[in-house]
């Protein structure tokens, strides 16, 4: 079974600064997907970014980028130029590939506060 660990329950960052959220995972699979979801106070789960394990290049979506270290089983999220609207819970998630792989396994989340 896969596990996802987010070791930082809470973090804060000054507006316009950069922050990195950590995530590690454990799996015996060679190919899989990793995700970061954002859950603002509205409660909506929003997909921020996706990384495919077979791709060496780190995924980037505007101010959001990841540092994917497959050997270390590490998948961190970097938020540049933090904005007040980035205040939210952030969840790291794992999904296997292939027949029968459909379940997202989530970490416990990191609560990020952006300070004006």
Partner 1 sequence: DAGVIQSPRHEVTEMGQEVTLRCKPISGHNSLFWYRQTMMRGLELLIYFNNNVPIDDSGMPEDRFSAKMPNASFSTLKIQPSEPRDSAVYFCASEPLLGTDQFFGPGTRLTVL
CB of 55 to partner 1, least distance (A): 13
CB of 24 to partner 1, least distance (A): 16
Query: 87 or 109: whose CB is closer to partner 1?
Result: 109
Query: 25 or 35: whose CB is closer to partner 1?
Result: 35
Query: 45 or 115: whose CB is closer to partner 1?
Result: 45
Displacement of CA 70 from its chain's centroid (Å):
14
CB of 16 to partner 1, least distance (A): 29
Specify the length of the chain in residues: 116
CB of 11 to partner 1, least distance (A): 18
Q: Are 87 and 19 in contact (CB under 8 A)?
A: no
The per-type count for the chain, helices as H runs and strands as E runs, is 0, 12
For partner 1, the binding residues (CB under 8 A) are: 33, 35, 37, 42-47, 50, 91, 95, 102-104, 106-109
Which tokens sit at 80?
Answer: 């540049």
d(CA 4, CA 82): 25
d(CA 82, CA 15): 5
Query: 5 or 69: whose CB is closer to partner 1?
Result: 5
């Amino acid at each position: 079974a896969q596990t996802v660990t987010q070791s930082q329950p809470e973090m804060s960052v000054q507006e316009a600064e950069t922050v990195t959220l950590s995530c590690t995972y454990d799996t015996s699979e060679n190919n899989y997907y990793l995700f970061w979801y954002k859950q603002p106070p509205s409660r909506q789960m929003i997909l921020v970014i996706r990384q495919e394990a077979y791709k060496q290049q780190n995924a980037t979506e505007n101010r959001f980028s990841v540092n994917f270290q497959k050997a270390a089983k590490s998948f961190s999220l970097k938020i540049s130029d933090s904005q007040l609207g980035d205040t939210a819970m952030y969840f790291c998630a794992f999904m296997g590939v292939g027949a029968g792989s459909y379940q997202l396994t989530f970490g416990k989340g990191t609560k990020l506060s952006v300070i004006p």
